[in-house]
Chain A
């Protein structure tokens, strides 16, 4: 599960006490479940280009707005149009 460490930035932002309690018996959400959910969401965000949009905003130092998303879509068109879809 070493790959999961790469998804840790979000969780590391939480206070240590909260992190500890998540893994303890009786905690509302078990740590493994939270990790798997986060992983699944990260995967879906990558597949559905939400992560690409976040990177685009960071790269261009923009905040999310209709014009920023339109610019992102224009950039994506150039990239995705050359990407084959498998049979």
Chain B
């Protein structure tokens, strides 16, 4: 292809992207087709990958095709394995794609589709993709070291400690939020509970198949498990419609929370790996299939968005979570735009699989683009719903009222018409008793997905199957996040306690396993319990806390990246990471300040505590809510202070290097020429 044709092609992509973005941003009072979002996203990603990531590769990171990666130098067939770049891409994407990019955009849709979409596109191209890419490359150049190790070596002891504490904090808060989403999706839903319960015997069957009949044939076993899960979804309908059986599986939020807490502890402390491993495979199988299916569905069916581009709640009075667009849209959508958690994956398994250094661009930058596309799809799934329906599902009873009549009146009063009979019919269509007050994002996403698919594949008759398929997919995946996260947290605590008293660090010593598992489960379990008992639905306080801690971890990752870039002598290119870092500092610090000290009780934790203390008669319940508010404020404050410390230490390091007071020395593994270059030439 000649240069002039290439230039014309890229100009065409830019023009198409501009047209799509213009349509998204400027249409007022008319509904638009979801394909405008898809086209805008594809064009933005194509331009970002072709030009921005290439600039970063060439100028900032100077990717070296002649340099051997740790996968080549330390190849052991176990951890370090040179792997085809497309395979690593798929592996990395499967590791970073979780419930976050599905739930966050659904919640942020309360502002309308425009703020979320713009943040997902801009945040990913200039922030999230860059973070994942540079951290992956820096880890590759350091023998696959973790983020905390790189922070300690490149910034200092404070940096290492803060990174460690941030990781633990985010894991605890993430697990609590994830568990709360499952509770809200499954409460009073015998169909959903039955389906999820059936995954336990299905996983046992898969384990039996894998261990006895066809050792190691995981894809076969997963396909078999998937068929059985589909049968379980079909059987769930019978369960929900059979009065004698349905009550066994109709659980309250409190009961579900207790069950999930026990599950988390058992998964961490008991030798149930043989159950968890097949379930993990099944969850990944369903996750990849569902994401693919949703992408195909949106492209094939091209649904219309009913949500306006901006809603009245941009002023901060939203029912799902309180707070204005800045900063709350940017912490609500984390994983689809920029997520600190990704830096753990980029400095975990993936760098040990990279075969050639230039492949970090496709894996790091490219996989995050794919994750961002998932977030765009979630935005579409939420925005295809009528706004009244969307708010009826997502608004907590504490805001819109306990009774359907009250909720309908409140939501219609906001200018989003909804009727009780319409909501009842929708609940019947998806096989639920009610869809009011189903906070957490998962039910709204499931209804949106069912809405998209039922418009052609099977019609209204199978809407309930689609809805419960989506609920099963989210709940199953979140439960695997829960058990994996609890184990990871337990190991991290054991590693730390091992420095205090050696036996506590032994991962095979049962008293230590039980104690550290209990510690981690108690930490996230208490936040979960707080969310379940919160009259405002829990999501209002916990999701922002999760968003803040996730973005603070991204701040830590970008501090590490900027420090390494400065020490590499590339300070003139440091804005590549410094600009997203500055943005995240502005967002997270503002959000933290508002969550702690804002005078509005729906936003500020302390204001809410004061309101409770002054307006209600003292009771055990009120005292607990006040304690929870103060705890949330303290956790937020501690996280911000820790990140401020790492920022200061990093800034001191940058100034020292730039002023010449300190000799810049990056701690990379020594250069070794790769044999793959010669093999490819030969």
Q: Give the interface of A toward B (CB within 8 A).
A: 2-7, 39, 42-50, 52-56, 58-59, 64-66, 68-70, 72-73, 75-77, 79-87
A-B contact pairs, 27 of them (CB 8 A): A6-B84, A39-B86, A39-B87, A42-B87, A43-B90, A49-B281, A50-B216, A50-B219, A55-B77, A56-B77, A69-B211, A76-B277, A81-B273, A81-B487, A82-B491, A83-B349, A84-B348, A85-B95, A86-B96, A86-B335, A86-B341, A86-B342, A86-B344, A87-B100, A87-B174, A87-B178, A87-B481
* Closest Cβ–Cβ distance, residue A32 to chain B (whole Å): 14
Asked, given contacts A55-B78, A87-B550, whether A72 binds B216 with beta carbons under 8 Å apart, the answer is yes
Q: Are A58 and B77 in contact, CB atoms less than 8 angstroms apart?
A: yes
Chain A: minimal CB distance from B294 (Å): 18
Chain A residue with minimal CB distance to B100? Answer: A87
Q: In whole angstroms, how far apart are the Cα atoms of A72 and B487 in the complex? A: 19
Known: A76-B277, A83-B348, A85-B481. A47 touches B91 (CB 8 A): yes
**Looking across the interface, which residue of chain A has its beta carbon closest to that of B274?**
A73
Contact check, A87 vs B339: say whether CB atoms are below 8 A apart: yes
Asked if B246 is at the interface (CB within 8 A of a chain A CB), the reply is no
Q: Give complex CA distance A77, B483 in Å.
A: 13
Our count of residue pairs bridging A and B at CB distance below 8 angstroms stands at 138
Q: Does B247 interact with chain A (Cβ within 8 Å)?
A: no
Say whether A3 contacts B359, CB under 8 Å.
yes
Q: Which of B94, B485, B550 has the most CB of A within 10 A?
A: B94
B171 touches A86 (CB 8 A): no
Give every chain A residue within 8 A of B342 (Cβ-Cβ).
86
- The complex places the Cα of A80 from the Cα of B485 at a distance, in Å, of 11
B78–A68 CB distance below 8 A:
no
Which of A59, A69, A85 interacts with B77 by CB under 8 Å? A59
The reply to whether A69 and B215 form a contact with Cβ atoms under 8 Å apart is yes
Inter-chain contacts of A68 with B (CB < 8 A): 215
Cα separation A85 to B174 with both chains bound (whole Å): 11
Q: Which residues of B contact A7 (CB under 8 A)?
A: 84
Interface assignment of B98: CB less than 8 Å from any CB of chain A: yes
Give the chain B neighbours of A53 by CB distance below 8 A: 215-216, 218
Residues of B within 8 A of A42 (CB): 84, 86-87
Chain B: interface residue count, which band? 35 or more
Known: A3-B85, A87-B341. A48 touches B78 (CB 8 A): no
B81 touches A55 (CB 8 A): yes
Instruction: Tell me, yes or no, whether B30 is within 8 Å of chain A by CB.
Output: no
* Majority DSSP secondary structure for residues of B touching A: helix
Q: Which A-B residue pairs are the 4 nearest by beta carbons?
A: A69-B215, A43-B90, A48-B218, A87-B100
How distant is A46 from chain B, measured CB to nearest CB, in Å?
5
Interface digits, B69-88 against A, CB 8 Å rule (1 contact, 0 not)? 00000000111010111111
Q: Given A83-B348, A87-B174, are A46 and B91 also a contact pair (CB < 8 Å)? A: yes
A82 touches B87 (CB 8 A): no
Cα distance A73–B171 in the bound complex, in angstroms: 25
Chain B: CB-nearest residue to A3: B85
B248 to chain A, nearest CB (A): 30
Q: Is B222 an interface residue (CB 8 A)?
A: yes
Cα distance A55–B71 in the bound complex, in angstroms: 14
| Contact of A4 with B86 at beta-carbon distance under 8 Å, contacts A73-B273, A86-B335 already known | yes
Closest residue of chain A to B495, judged by CB? Answer: A82
Query: Are B341 and A6 in contact (CB-based, < 8 A)?
Result: no
Chain B: which residue is nearest A50 at the CB level? B218
Chain B residues near A50 (CB-CB < 8 A): 216-219
Q: Which chain B residues lie closer than 8 Å to A3 at the CB level?
A: 84-86, 359
Q: Contact between B488 and A82 (Cβ–Cβ < 8 Å)?
A: yes
Contact partners of B680 in chain A: CB under 8 A: 2, 5
Taking the nearest CB of chain A, how far is it from the CB of B165, in angstroms?
15
Closest chain-A Cβ to B668's Cβ sits at a distance in Å of 24
Report Cα–Cα, A48/B485, bound state, in Å: 19
Q: Give the distance to chain B from A44, nearest Cβ to Cβ, in Å.
A: 6
Q: For residue B491, which residues in chain A have a CB less than 8 angstroms away from its CB?
A: 81-82
By beta carbon, the residue of chain A nearest B483 is A85
**Contacting residue for B99 out of A48, A49, A87, CB 8 A:** A87
In-complex Cβ contact of B219 among A2, A48, A58, A69 (8 A): A48
Q: How far is the CB of B584 from chain A (nearest CB, A)?
A: 16
Q: Please, which residue of chain B has its CB at the minimum distance from the CB of A7?
A: B84
Contacts A48-B285, A68-B215, A84-B485 aside, 4 further interface pairs with beta carbons under 8 A come to A43-B89, A46-B88, A82-B491, A83-B348
Closest Cβ of chain A to B229, distance in Å, is 16
Q: Which of B645-668 contact A (CB under 8 A)?
A: none
- By beta carbon, the residue of chain A nearest B288 is A47
CB distance from B108 to the nearest CB of A (A): 15
> Which residues 203-229 of B sit at the A interface, judged by CB distance below 8 A?
210-212, 215-219, 222
Q: Tell me the minimal C-beta distance from B38 to chain A in angstroms.
A: 22
Q: A5-B680, A48-B284, A66-B211 are contacts. A86–B219 as well, Cβ < 8 Å?
A: no
Residues of A contacting B215 in the complex (Cβ-Cβ under 8 angstroms): 53, 64-66, 68-69
Q: Which residues of B contact A66 (CB under 8 A)?
A: 211-212, 215
* Distance of A18 Cα from B344 Cα, bound (Å): 45
Chain A residues within 8 Å of B344, by CB? 84, 86
**A79 and B219 form a contact (CB under 8 A):** no
Contact call B96/A44, Cβ cutoff below 8 A: no
